């Protein structure tokens, strides 16, 4: 069973429907006991870093996630804000502490001086930095849908899987053992995104 973590931010319905299209058993929940019972865990989200982390901590979901993902090594997928939570710190509306699973910090996109708008919204192709089973069967020049104003400055180059370009190089996908996360939205990325989610369902890290 895949549990999609509900912490009050983001369109969880589209993520749920995408997995259900692929025939997966899915449960949307904000309860720690459901996270503990999950076979696979998905942490999506759109919104502010600090608000989201506050909610995870208030509900005890941060410790439940850390136990199941870092401790028991369950397959994990973070999407957009769900990727950003993995960092050590985030600078959105002040300094905030993240889950700290991935070395690095979350900072605002530095593109406005080039006349580019924030948030970055739209389709971008990726540059693959290294192979990952989550991109199996996906063309190297495939494009994915992004909506974000902040990005991960990856502290360990070994975690980086793919980048995109929007005025600067953007961390698009990371993997660290059983942890995989994307800055783009696979559930909004049509066939390429569905293939990535299908790969996650089958992934045995």
Which position among 80, 92, 96, 120 bears the catalytic label? 80
Pairing state of beta strands 104-108 and 96-97?
A: unpaired
Cβ proximity of 69 and 99 under 8 Å? no
Which position among 68, 92, 187, 198 bears the catalytic label? 187
Which position among 96, 120, 176, 185 bears the catalytic label? 185
How many alpha carbons lie under 13 Å from residue 113 in its C-beta half-sphere? 4
Does the annotation count 80 as an active-site position? yes
Does the annotation count 187 as an active-site position? yes
Coil, helix or strand at residue 21: helix
Does the annotation count 176 as an active-site position? no
State how far the Cα of 89 lies from the Cα of 103, in Å rounded to an integer: 9
Report how far apart, in Å, the C-alpha atoms of 12 and of each of 53, 83, 112, 114, 135 are.
Answer: 17, 15, 30, 33, 22
Catalytic residues: 80, 185, 187
């Amino acid at each position: 069973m895949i549990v999609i973590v509900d912490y009050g931010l983001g369109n969880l319905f589209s993520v749920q429907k995408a997995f259900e299209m692929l025939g997966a058993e899915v449960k949307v929940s904000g309860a720690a006991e459901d996270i503990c019972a999950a076979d696979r865990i998905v942490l999506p989200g759109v919104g502010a870093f600090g608000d989201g982390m506050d909610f995870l901590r208030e509900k005890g979901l941060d410790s439940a996630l850390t136990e199941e993902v870092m401790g028991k090594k369950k397959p994990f997928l973070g999407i957009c804000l769900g990727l950003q939570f993995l960092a050590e710190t985030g600078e959105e509306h002040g300094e905030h502490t993240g889950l700290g699973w991935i070395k690095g910090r979350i900072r605002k996109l530095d593109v406005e001086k080039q006349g580019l708008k924030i948030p970055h919204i739209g389709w971008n192709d990726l540059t693959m930095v290294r192979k990952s089973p989550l991109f199996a069967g996906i063309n190297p020049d495939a494009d994915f849908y992004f909506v974000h104003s902040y990005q991960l400055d990856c502290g360990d180059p070994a975690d980086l899987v793919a980048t995109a370009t929007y005025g600067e190089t953007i961390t698009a996908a990371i993997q660290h053992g059983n942890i995989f996360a994307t800055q783009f939205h696979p559930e909004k990325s049509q066939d390429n995104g569905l293939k990535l989610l299908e790969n996650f369902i089958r992934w045995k890290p």
